[in-house]
Structure 1
Amino acid sequence: MTIDRMLIRVAGFMVLFSVLLAVFHSLHWLWLTGFVGANLVQATFTGFCPLVKILKKTGMKPGAAFD
């Protein structure tokens, strides 16, 4: 598995998790959804993503997007 695929997977789980928490606990959890989305958008412009740095340190291989 590459960093690109893991990034998409983690972001998807975070969005689903925060939406479920917003439905069943508090609407304030939607801030997490917004943060994840904003981070994905800024990563497309800058190429910087904190999760990518962490995954590179674990030895995971980069894909085409994060060489």
Structure 2
Amino acid sequence: MTIDKAVMAFAGTVVLFSLGLSLWLSLYWLLLTAFVGLNLLQASFTGFCPLAIALRCVGVRPGQAFR
């Protein structure tokens, strides 16, 4: 798995998890969904993604978007 695919898989998991928590616990969990969405948007423009940096440090092979 490349960094690109790992970032998308992690983001999708966090979004679904936070949506579930917002249904069962509190609507404030939607703030986590908004944070993930905003982070994905800024990463598409700037190329800066903290998760991609962490994955690179643990040895995940780079993809096309995050090197």
Q: Kindly indicate whether residue 58 of structure 2 is the aligned counterpart of residue 58 of structure 1.
A: yes
How many residues align structurally? 67
TM-score with structure 1 setting the length: 0.98
Residue of structure 2 equivalent to 1:40 = 40
Structure 1 outlier segments of 4+, above 4 Å: none
Percent identical among aligned pairs is 55
Report the alpha carbon displacement of residue 66 of structure 1 after superposing the two structures with TM.
1.0
Specify every segment of 5 or more residues in structure 2 that has no aligned partner in the other structure, as ranges.
none
Specify every segment of 5 or more residues in structure 1 that has no aligned partner in the other structure, as ranges.
none
TM-score with structure 2 setting the length: 0.98
Measured on the aligned residues, the alpha-carbon RMSD in Å equals 0.4
